[in-house]
Chains A and B, each alone.
Chain A
Amino acid sequence: MSDTTQNGPVLAADGTPLKRSLAKALRLQKLRALMLIAPLLLFILVTFILPVGDMLFRSVDNRIVQEVLPKTVDALESWDPDSSELPDEAVFAALAVDMKAAAELKVHTRVAKRLNYENPGMSSVFRKSGRKIGKWDVENDGPYKERLIELDDGWADLELWRTIKTYSGTRTAGYFLNAVDLKLGADGVEVRPETERIYNTMLIRTMRMSLIITFSCIMLGYPVAWLLANLPTRKANLLMILVLLPFWTSLLVRTSSWKILLQQQGVINDVLVWIGLVADDNRLVLINNELGTIIAMTHILLPFMILPMYSVMQTIQPTYLRAAKSLGATNWTAFWRVYFPQSVPGIGAGSILVFILAVGYYITPALVGGTKGTFISNLIAYHISTSGNWGLGAALGSILLAVVLLLYWVYDKIVGIDNVKLG
């Protein structure tokens, strides 16, 4: 005791305090470890995190309105959107200048597209006017208010001006609101008309169907995983190949096979008609609806459930079951009280894997889901590649990501992520 207080801190061989020297050595080690994974980190950053971040940023990006219509946005500052009068001549003149410049660069169509998301009908006003304004002499051709309204009476619509004013900022909540069937009107947030409300329905449908698929996978996968873990090695290996073979087969091939099996003139219906269970003129509708998606996706995701379950079950000692039985437990009690609780981490891991994969699934629902069995990801794909509304696609994607993270957190609270074993 007294020795240490007299000699001060413990010193290393070179005279520096041991604590510092140890920290230095550890830091060096950590740095070396970091250097080793640096290529991977860099790769993930460049090919994954940056593009995803850029895409998600589009869900709030609204620079286009100010970039294309700078003078109009400025001139609209003084206009009161609640008034029942159209903006004055100065605003129309600014618009004519902006539109002429935009039409030359052909960017007026982009702002038209953007504003049309919030107020359907604006796109055609901008496009029609853009075609003509290109030929105007914007220095002397007044008065613009009359001329523009003459060109397209859409410019006399107060709603149009309110939309431009409401969406003149460089950031917008418009896409996120749209993604939950709301919109930002002149008087704050309002519900979209009934004919445009689809996204909440789709999100709920995606969650519900993914849960059903996860549950079906548990029910079908559990016995298979049990067999895999408990059969003699030779038979288990054969069974393993049967599980892995479809896993290695192309996703498209498997989905197309389900089409052939499930369609109304398909194999399953043919067999049912042949054995007389179903009338020929009343064949079952097994595809292009929810049922088709659930069947095909359960099959496709089943290996992701079986494999984690199997790896956990393999570690459960068969002696526990024997001990339970020797202590007087029935088969059921031994399974339910002894075996099942030990296999729960496998179910947890499989469920997380299957659920998260299912929520973002795209190809299978697109091919066998018709209109009733498609997921939110199909709508995201539609907005990215067909409609061109990348902002809305990004907002939907962000919401999906947030929901998955939230569910992951809830799962961690309830089951505990430490209880998940992938092998």
Chain B
Amino acid sequence: MKMTKLSALAMTTALIAPAAFAEDMANELTLVSWGGAYQDSQNKAYVEPYLAANEGVSAVWDESSAEAVAKLRAMNEAGNVTWDLVDVVASDAMRLCDEGLAAELDHDADLAAAPDGTPATEDFGDLLVSECFVPQIVYSTTFGYRTDLVGAEAPTSVCDIFDLAKFPGKRSLQKRPIDNMEWALYCDGVAKEDLYDVLGTDEGVTRALNKLDTIKDSVVWWSAGAETPQLLADGEVVMGSTFNGRLFSAIAEQNQPIGMLWDMQSFDLDGWIVPAGLPADRKARAMDFLRFATDTQRLADQAAYISYGPARASSAPLVGKHAVLGIEMAPHMPTDPANSGNVHTYDYEWWADNRDDLDAKFQAWLLQ
């Protein structure tokens, strides 16, 4: 199958002038991402080398990943999808795939194999959580605390978030049920392996919300990843959750007095989806870029700009030093053994099935 495709392609290329080959792929590429340091790292690691290798192609960024699901839904209804490749978190990718808004991929055929020939499905392993999704990075939602404001003893457990007596002051949490509900139950004495069984019942939800109620008045809720580092830098909160890369840049690049609390960090994935229903020429360009941008070297390159772990196993040994600061990146990765002693494993399928319910309940609780 793959052979026939390739030989057909070779024949077309040989028979018709090379210019015809370029006509099969659109020359414009609209990429959607999160903006900020993360998008910069993608631009440097993937887009700049790709454009250098493909003359005449141009790429445009749209910083809309936070509203990607709603916008794709609207574009799909209007029958005019203007995006070629969208960077979303895994749970959004699953929602888009479930609703038929993202194209299904054949990972082994569409993605490059590892340098040693390991097929993509093996190289990515368990991280291929949806057939529409190509993961780029492993990031974690974890806690940072102000080393000078928490007192003599630094927090060591995620349950210190719920301990207002030992650590008075405000804390910031993400304005969504995911992670917060699990942390609340865990600190209310539920065993890690039972978290989702308990959360699946009405009593479990009430129990988690009751636990969150104990700190509700001391919580500043955030929705953009940049908020917690800012709140910490201002001294508005003594501790707060955010994405580990944001904390890394606050600590390593801006020298803020912030410490990392990795306990019960919640791993998540971020990666690409291709919108469903693209015209053939644009889809061909998107797939060509996707193959390039998710190969072993490119994923490893990205880690030189931001402290997120590459999603391919074969990229890990290639992770080097920070491109500007020159510090070793490995100890700052969420996957480093020193940081991943006690990890919360986020259940994608459970959340895909229950997110609508929990979102509604959490939102109502928040406003009451």
Contact = CB atoms under 8 A, between A and B. Distances in A.
Most buried by B among A107, A113, A195, A382: A195
Given A123-B357, A124-B354, A110 B364 contact: no
B367 A371 contact: yes
Interface string B296-327: 00000000000000000000000000000000
Nearest to B209: A195
6 cross-chain pairs, A with B, having the tightest CB-CB distances, nearest first: A106-B100, A124-B353, A265-B235, A385-B70, A120-B357, A109-B98
B62 interface: no
B353 A201 contact: no
Contact of A263 (B71, B234, B352): B234
Nearest to A371: B366
27 contacts: A105-B100, A106-B98, A106-B100, A109-B98, A113-B356, A116-B357, A120-B356, A120-B357, A120-B360, A123-B356, A124-B354, A127-B98, A127-B352, A128-B353, A195-B361, A196-B364, A201-B367, A202-B367, A265-B235, A288-B220, A370-B221, A385-B70, A386-B359, A387-B356, A387-B363, A388-B70, A388-B73
A210 B360 CA distance: 26
Given A264-B236, A265-B234, A288-B220, A107 B100 contact: yes
Mostly, the B contact residues are: helix
Nearest to B98: A109
B254 interface: no
Interface string B75-104: 000000000000000000000011110000
B353 A196 contact: no
Contacts of B360: 120, 196, 387
Contacts of A382: 363
Contacts of B288: none
A370 B216 CA distance: 11
A384 interface: yes
Most buried by B among A113, A263, A371: A371
B365 A195 contact: yes
Contacts of A196: 360-361, 364
Interface string B50-61: 000000000000
Contacts of A371: 221, 366-367
B208 to A, nearest CB: 13
Contacts of A124: 353-354, 357
A65 to B, nearest CB: 16
Interface string A358-383: 00000000000011001000010010
Interface in B258-310: none
B352 A386 contact: no
A9 interface: no
A379 B366 CA distance: 12
Contact of B367 (A127, A374, A385): A374
A198 interface: yes
Contacts of A386: 67, 70, 359
A370 B170 CA distance: 13
A195 B202 CA distance: 12
Interface string A200-226: 011000000000000000000000000
Nearest to B358: A120
Nearest to A265: B235
B69 interface: yes
Contacts of B368: 195, 198, 201
A382 B73 CA distance: 15
Contacts of A387: 356, 359-360, 363
A264 B356 CA distance: 35
A293 to B, nearest CB: 14
A120 to B, nearest CB: 5
A374 B220 CA distance: 13
A197 B357 CA distance: 14
Nearest to A128: B353
A120 B367 CA distance: 19
A388 B354 CA distance: 15
Contacts of A264: 170, 236
Interface string B329-368: 0000000000000000000000011101101110111111
Interface in B20-59: none
B99 to A, nearest CB: 5
A318 interface: no
A382 B236 CA distance: 25
B354 A110 contact: no
Contacts of B236: 263-265
Contacts of A265: 234-236
A388 B365 contact: no
A195 B234 CA distance: 35
Contact of B357 (A105, A121, A201): A121
Nearest to B176: A386
Contacts of B357: 116, 120-121, 123-124
A38 to B, nearest CB: 26
Contacts of B71: 385
A385 B221 CA distance: 18
A195 B364 contact: yes
A197 B356 CA distance: 16
Nearest to B361: A195
Given A120-B357, A124-B354, A124-B357, A384 B100 contact: no
Interface in B211-227: 220-221
Contacts of B73: 388
A387 B213 CA distance: 23
Contact of B364 (A127, A198, A266, A384): A198
Given A197-B364, A265-B235, A371-B366, A385 B100 contact: no
B331 to A, nearest CB: 31
Interface in A180-206: 195-198, 201-202
Contact of B69 (A197, A288, A388): A388
Most buried by A among B70, B73, B354: B70
Contacts of A107: 99-100
Nearest to A386: B70
Given A120-B357, A123-B357, A385-B67, 9 more contacts: A196-B361, A196-B364, A198-B367, A265-B235, A265-B236, A288-B220, A384-B70, A385-B71, A387-B356
A288 B216 CA distance: 13
Contacts of B354: 123-124
A1 B199 CA distance: 95
